[in-house]
Amino acid sequence: MPVTQLDDRTALVVVDLQNGFRARPTAPHAADDVIARNVELAAAFRARGLPVVLTRFTFAADGSDAARGRTDMSGRQSGGVAPEGWDQLVDDLAGHDGDVVVTKRRWGSFYGTDLDLQLRSRGVTQVVLTGVATSLGVDSTARAAHERGYHVTLAVDAMTDLNPEAHQSSVERIFPLLGETGTTAQILTLLEESRA
């Protein structure tokens, strides 16, 4: 379904496009393609003076700040050491003055962060969400944005997952309940029309 409109104060929120995810196989979209689409969106938002928020996921090396609680996956995760720089934003997006960087320790970008404050202090009423992983970080952030009353738009070709079925499930079953879904091209067209 196409995106119908963008509010005057819409922010781009890019979830976890960082080095550690770029190195992993993703589907249905390759990480480099998703990064390229995000670079294009970020440039368009910046050119119009609209906020760009980059979230990054990290945790303490000893796991002391990890989420607690038993899960079906407890004990199955590899306990290896993360490679140096895995939690740094990809160079393609990092280093722009004026961008907001939010560091998080959970899937969602709102919990335990100042994201809501950063958005509200800029008068933001709508968020365009992108990033990885669709079914984890993006999905959790979309739910929290919806719960906080933001208009939510999801650029489904500017996000990807480690599992194509999980991506598809979020896009087809969850996201239509939370906001509008569309493509990078549709969002860029709306941004261009808003300039006229």
pLDDT, tens digit, for every residue of 12-48?
A: 999 999 998 888 899 999 999 999 999 999 999 999 9
Place of tokens 């952030």: 141
**Which pLDDT does position 120 carry in this prediction?**
98
Domains and CATH numbers, the chain: 10-59+85-195 (3.40.50.850)
Q: List, for residues 151-185, the tens digit of each pLDDT value.
A: 999 999 999 999 999 999 999 999 999 999 999 99
Torsion, Cα of 158, 80, 106, 135 (10° steps): 40
Rounded to an integer, what distance in angstroms lies between the CA atom of residue 183 and that of residue 158? 8
Q: List, for residues 112-130, the tens digit of each pLDDT value.
A: 999 999 999 999 999 999 9
**132 compared with 21, residue with greater pLDDT:** 132
pLDDT at 81 over 70: no
Rounded to an integer, what distance in angstroms lies between the CA atom of residue 191 and that of residue 185? 10
pLDDT at 75 over 60: no
Confidence of residue 77 (pLDDT cuts 50, 70, 90): low
